[in-house]
Structure 1
Amino acid sequence: MKTLDVSEYLDLESRSLDALAPRQRILKTASELFYRNSIHTVGIDRIIAESGVAKMTFYKHFPSKANLAATYLRHKSALWFDMLATATEQAGPAPLDRVLAIFDALNASFQAPTFRGCPFVRGLAEFGPDAETPEVQATLAAYFHDLRKFVASLVQPLKLKNQESVVVQILALIQGSLVNAQAMRGGVEPLATRDAAKVLLEAAVQRG
């Protein structure tokens, strides 16, 4: 089964449904429906109808709903890491500023009217350890592994003695920020979380 590369995922966001090939039309439609509602509440028939493809075409590209769900999560992961990479690169060379840029990027995403929380946290709730969807669970695990690796790469230049502990704490602030932003729309929580991350990092640098 073909896996879209990052450029193709980004292309889905910029092009209209009519301008896409059938596979991309299915994925774009499913991504919008899954994120706006949930994976479990959106049926295949609705995706087929709204994407404008035949049922045979759907199953040619996605043999199961679980396969489509995993592809959707990879799509979201590609967009998320592209956003983080752009934000941290624009922050400049200072390591502390690069870590804090994560929270600036989050704050910007929270302002979007389409924000519905973290698709990966929601995915964990929908596909628990007893779910018989190994591809979905592997995709979720890969996302959280990659996020930890990304944060660690930003923290590493600070040369902290307790680097691993700081990475875990930053990850907790990121996930907490996402959940709270979904629960408290319009609040000041994202900026408060950035301030908490700054205090944490500055204290860790002072300790060496």
Structure 2
Amino acid sequence: MEKESTSGARRRGGRGARERILEAAAALFYEEGIHATGVARLVETAEVSTRTFYQHFPSKTALVEEYLRRYEAGPARRVEERLAQEGLSPQDQLLAQFVMVAEAASGGAGDASTRGCPLHNAAVEAAGSMPQVRELVQRNREDVVRQFTDIATRAGAADPERLGRQLAVLLEGATAMSTSLDSHCPRQDALDAARVLIEHALPEAQPVN
């Protein structure tokens, strides 16, 4: 049922309120920034009352954490699906995330994806103010390095840990530079650079397509 708040804005309680809050957070945090988006803006967009908001999330920080966990799950699932594709060698798997990042740029310049990775954006905004968010992002990035390192080990890299770190830096840099330049070109540049890096790091490597 829709209700009028004392300010005249329509508010919808009941089932679906939590999902509407998360959908509003995903759009507003990404487009306008975490610090710039207050609870009042969130409840207005989600069409819930402030009371309903706090029934689902005890604080804005709790909402930020849930927003990031939900975002994190999506790319992680897509990466796992890509890595599980039949016939992908470890060498191809090392390149898979760069291929996915380049493919995501197919929408052209000006696409919302040039705003960068929500996790990276959150880490910048959370510096010194939201330690839980910083720790969540740090764990994610450590997982990325670990995944690259594990694959590099299977691929026979002489120094898999170093290659894992290098590829993670390259991947992070591609999305950050795309945001800074409002251009998708750095994503393709990162793919090209990853091919060279992988071929150089693997003694028996075949040219990577």
Q: Could you tell me the TM-score, scaled by structure 2's length?
A: 0.82
Q: 2:6 corresponds to which residue?
A: none
Q: Which residue of the other structure, out of 176, 181, 185, is the alignment partner of 1:184?
A: 181
Q: 1:78 corresponds to which residue?
A: 73
Deviations along 1:20-40, one digit per CA (max 9) or x if unpaired, are 721111011101110111100
Shift of 1:183: 2.3
Shift of 1:161: 2.0
Q: 1:114 corresponds to which residue?
A: 112
Contact persistence 1:92–1:98 (CA under 8 A): no
Question: Partners of 1:114 and 1:30 in 2: how far apart?
Answer: 16
For residues 142-181 of structure 1, what are the structure 2 equivalents within 5 Å? 142-181=139-178
Equivalent residue letter for 1:43: G
Indicate the percent of aligned positions where both proteins have the same amino acid.
28
Question: Partners of 1:150 and 1:77 in 2: how far apart?
Answer: 15
Runs of 4+ in 1 over 6 A off after TM superposition: none
Aligned pairs, how many?
Answer: 187
Q: 1:93 corresponds to which residue?
A: 88
Shift of 1:188: 2.8
Instruction: List alignment gaps of at least 5 residues for structure 1.
Output: 1-19
Pairwise CA RMSD: 1.9
Instruction: Report the structure number with the largest CA radius of gyration.
Output: 2
Question: Partners of 2:57 and 2:194 in 1: how far apart?
Answer: 41
Question: Partners of 1:137 and 1:192 in 2: how far apart?
Answer: 28
Shift of 1:205: 1.0
Distance 1:106 1:134, change over 3 A: same
Equivalent residue letter for 1:159: G
Q: 1:57 corresponds to which residue?
A: 52
Instruction: List alignment gaps of at least 5 residues for structure 2.
Output: 1-14
